[in-house]
Chain A
């Protein structure tokens, strides 16, 4: 029996080249015209430990990583030990016989188990031992029946991007070929996987962090200050590399406190600025977050979540920081919290984040996580939405009245006070983190204090009016409505698709703008729904709690996962069936 979709996984120690082999495989499949979604698991260290890279490949659109694994490539024994439970019964298991012993009897009867002397083949090809991952790639291509030329192209591209000389590519191609031939002969051209190979119709393969970074560049972000913290770090890398071409200033600061304060300083001058971090770094930024709210400076912050508390699991995924972000800072101020759910939304909503930050002069936090930020997904570039730039009210010298003082914190109908940028003659004021009056002077009078609080919170109402409402996706008359946010969207979509094929009616409400909360719309959906389950990657049901606070309503069920792994569609399907 043949099939046209499969899930491939490679594993080995850190330092074995698992990540680069996985990335090449993923890209080659995209270039072979397939829909691709990939996902990595690795510990927070540089050598040793256990790294895996898995790629789900399908002729149809795919929105999350899929299990079970059909092709497992084990560069060490640990890969077999850890990944055995993830295998489909008919899996092809390819292992490195130079360091690993494995018997067919360890696996299901239908499984095909093949040992390859990966290190020996690599050394024989002139690629030394480190070329074993390339041998493994060659073996993988034979196992899924993809012509060798597709791999050759990727290897050449990979080494040219790394600026290695042609000889390096040549010996690696030889090593790959050795792996390829070894498996081809063993399978005798009878791979169970028959893909419809074609040229890539222009699709891209991007992570959420890639898309978010490019969305920010698109939106005219010219200033980025940040400090490395997994899983946000690749955002810093994209900006650092692109800075000269896109006229950006990118500063790797001494800590997250400087990262956010410098971004605030830059935003104050009128430059579109942002910073990105994970929960731990965000904890350090919290005081300055409140400062941005108080001085009313535009600011975009990306908070890319990983499991906590404390150091937690740095390289794994979770959605555990929602309540933290919603209430971070002493005191109260209006803030916007937006959670893209996929790569395309990461590109789109970061652009909106800049518009909202400038139009309403308040911080916007964009919630990402390891699963969304680091997994690569196929993208149709035509579906990457471009938002027109809206800069809000900026007062220039010619607009200023000479006979009246400029009021930086003018109390207006929607709470937004037109701002002057430093350097504007006649527009001087205090960007004041102390409570202040319209003139911007420090002020502690009771009625003035209350008035300024009301002024700032008028912006919240104005922002809420400006935001798009969430929409139900899928069956209108569903037996179960799944409410979700952020990266859980993809697995939920995948699960609904599987359930639909089985005749089950389930739909989804993804909440993108979490603050200000779309209360009326969510109340309407919840009141009409037959049953509601909330799906989120945390222990306590943080969105469920927020939803209850905002709507007075509670979901019937909570589907929660907090083991550091994303939701997998097959697990969700089983859980949802029990609820139907």
Chain B
């Protein structure tokens, strides 16, 4: 029987008291444990940021990459060894700032990867600047007179660009979050979970109270995640209503299905041997 402990390193976390990461990672570990996925079967690609420093607190194959690039690293890992459960993990800064194009294109690919985004609406490791998901008008260290831009909508972006599993969780709801992450890992295709995360140190706007007034569970309103139009509707609601649960989920061929080489075995299982190319070279005469 696997437990959280099996995925946990001896390293002590360095997050602030009350940080959402203290619940997001345990929920992820519980999800893996409940699914019976052993630590060595998981490769997890981390970004740079508060959440991604969590690479140190895991006991599995973690890849602590660079800012914005957890997805492309995860894509390479998955295509090379699709026997691994591959999870990419990033904050909203890396995911939607530097990593925006990777997000959109990975949705399009529908590769069989789980993508967990810790969305606290701020850059917190650099001490509280505006992120793409920060709300318009919000005053931060980089926008002392208020944010001018419209905030980015990752949920709708994921749905309309081909992600086949799009969900939202809340860092203060551990059981709900665990269930969603479990389903995301089990989903065959690109599964994106936006995790609304509390940052008590820097985000004094999107507080627990603020969320409590806006969050609602999709399971309680009879939402059908297979319905594309309804999913887009839920994802594009005004900010005074924030859905939790699976917004959109469909089964479609995954990227790997389109590569004949991957049909028989993972790429890494093919022996690396000197290939005889002499016959092929004759076409150059």
Interface residues on A, range: 35 or more
Interface residues on B, range: 35 or more
Chain B residues in 8 Å Cβ range of A427: 40
Chain B residues in 8 Å Cβ range of A225: 76
Q: Is the CB of A266 within 8 A of B77?
A: yes
**Known A-B contacts A218-B277, A271-B80; A430 and B64 likewise in contact (beta carbons under 8 Å):** yes
Chain A residues in 8 Å Cβ range of B74: 265
Chain A residues in 8 Å Cβ range of B77: 265-266, 268-269, 422
Q: Is the CB of A254 within 8 A of B75?
A: no
Chain B residues in 8 Å Cβ range of A251: 75, 79
Q: Write the A270-306 contact mask toward B (1 if CB under 8 angstroms, else 0).
A: 1111000000000000011001000100000000000
In the bound assembly, the distance between CA atoms of A427 and B55 in angstroms comes to 16
Q: Is the CB of B270 within 8 A of A222?
A: yes
Interface residue from B11, B261, B268 paired with A441 (Cβ < 8 Å):
B11
Chain A residues in 8 Å Cβ range of B260: 244
**Stretch of A51-59, A61-69, A431-439, A556-564 at the chain-chain interface:** A431-439
**Interface membership of B3, Cβ < 8 A:** no
Chain A, 228-287, CB within 8 A of any chain B CB: 242-249, 251, 253-255, 257-258, 261-273, 287
Q: Is the CB of A218 within 8 A of B274?
A: yes
**Interface membership of B131, Cβ < 8 A:** no
A-B residue pair count with CB separations less than 8 angstroms: 194
In the bound assembly, the distance between CA atoms of A243 and B38 in angstroms comes to 32
In the bound assembly, the distance between CA atoms of A379 and B282 in angstroms comes to 11
**Known A-B contacts A204-B281, A268-B76; A258 and B102 likewise in contact (beta carbons under 8 Å):** yes
**Known A-B contacts A428-B40, A430-B63, A431-B64; A205 and B72 likewise in contact (beta carbons under 8 Å):** no
Q: Is the CB of B284 within 8 A of A204?
A: yes
Nearest CB in chain B: distance from A268 CB, A: 6
Q: Is the CB of A261 within 8 A of B275?
A: no
In the bound assembly, the distance between CA atoms of A428 and B40 in angstroms comes to 6
**Interface membership of B267, Cβ < 8 A:** yes
Nearest CB in chain B: distance from A73 CB, A: 24
In the bound assembly, the distance between CA atoms of A388 and B272 in angstroms comes to 11
Nearest CB in chain B: distance from A172 CB, A: 21
Nearest CB in chain A: distance from B64 CB, A: 5
Nearest CB in chain B: distance from A163 CB, A: 15
**Interface membership of B250, Cβ < 8 A:** no
In the bound assembly, the distance between CA atoms of A243 and B260 in angstroms comes to 9
In the bound assembly, the distance between CA atoms of A251 and B259 in angstroms comes to 10
B interface residues, Cβ below 8 angstroms from A: 9, 11, 38-41, 43, 45, 48, 53, 55-56, 58-66, 69, 71-81, 83-84, 101-102, 105, 259-262, 267-268, 270, 272-275, 277-278, 280-282, 284-285
A interface residues, Cβ below 8 angstroms from B: 30-31, 200, 202-206, 210, 214, 217-220, 222-223, 225, 242-249, 251, 253-255, 257-258, 261-273, 287-288, 291, 295, 379, 381, 384, 386, 388-389, 391, 421-434, 441-442
A-B contact pairs, 30 of them (CB 8 A): A30-B285, A202-B285, A204-B285, A222-B80, A243-B261, A244-B260, A248-B261, A249-B79, A249-B262, A257-B102, A262-B76, A266-B80, A268-B76, A268-B80, A269-B77, A269-B84, A269-B268, A271-B80, A271-B267, A273-B76, A273-B80, A391-B272, A422-B77, A423-B41, A423-B83, A429-B61, A429-B62, A430-B64, A431-B63, A441-B56
> Which 3 residue pairs are nearest across A and B when measured between Cβ atoms?
A265-B76, A262-B76, A261-B72
